[in-house]
Amino acid sequence: MRSEPGEPLPMSPIMSCVTDMQPSLELVHVLRGQGIDDPDRASAGVVAVAQQVLGEAQALLAPAAIYTVLSVHDLHHQTVTLDGGVTFEGPLVARALAGASEVALAVCTIGPALEEQVAALFAAGHTLQALALDGAGSGAVGEVSRMVGTRICDAASAHGLNVGMRASPGQEGWSIWQQRTLFGLVPGDEIGVRLTESCLMLPRKSVSFALGLGTEMSPDGVPCDFCSKRERCRWRKEGVQASPTPRICYD
């Protein structure tokens, strides 16, 4: 049965687990994962090593994601209350979810194999290869989270909803400690992602995010626009975010 525009996204299944993604890595992903947005600015040696690790990186990927959609009950000052009384707090998450009737919460990963190989390369003294492979991993998890964001966006659009700016715990304006709240709603352990005591995710090449949904939402900004490090950050993303495509920030 077709839903009316603006009708909440169906909550069955409550959790969506996705393992059929096959991100295709390219040279630009490896370089971008190392903080090089323009391949023309990379040295010939860096480009050569990046090309060498592409096949290995692709073989080591085990992409997976889990996400859910919950109703937003209230937004007061910098506190967002979801149904059930669970709250997110901070200027960034409040900005991202302002006007949202629902929120999609997601955890994405490429699995542990790639970073285990990175550690092995470092231990063997192959520093350049390790850095390139690590960059490939960063690019890959960015692609995985982009693909998940696109799925959420497409589902929202089919129900007459728009998407807003996405945000992640740990970005400026949303405390990393709220990872525990997010993981309480989205069981990352079902795809092999867990939190450390300091709320970092393992495997390290994992991303969590919130994406506001609603009839009046629009992706009119990126978290970088609200970050005090925006003028000096190599990961900065310029301009308006026209789709939920992330820039992974490790600062």
For 104-116, what is each residue's pLDDT tens digit?
A: 999 999 999 999 9
Mean pLDDT of 225-235: 55
β-pair partners for 159: none
Residue 135 to residue 128: CA distance in whole angstroms: 11
Distance, CA of 233 to chain centre: 18
Residue 28 has pLDDT above 70, yes or no: yes
Nearest CA-CA partner of 149 in 189, 99, 105: 105
Q: What is the DSSP letter of 102?
A: E
Residue 17's pLDDT is 94
Neighbouring residues of 134: CB distance < 8 A, sequence distance ≥ 6: 33, 34, 115, 118
Q: Name the CATH architecture for the domain at 16-20+63-111+142-226.
A: 3-Layer(aba) Sandwich (3.40)
pLDDT, residue 222, reads 58
Find the distance separating the first CA and the last CA of the chain, reported in whole Å.
Answer: 46
Q: What is the CA radius of gyration of the chain?
A: 18
Q: What is the per-residue pLDDT for 35?
A: 83
Token code pair at residue 91:
């200027």
Nearest to 178 by CA among 186, 169, 187, 168: 169
Other Cβ atoms within 10 Å of 212 Cβ, number: 29
Question: How does residue 218 score in pLDDT terms, banded at 50, 70 and 90?
Answer: confident
The pLDDT of residue 236 is above 90: no
Kindly report the pTM of this predicted structure.
0.84
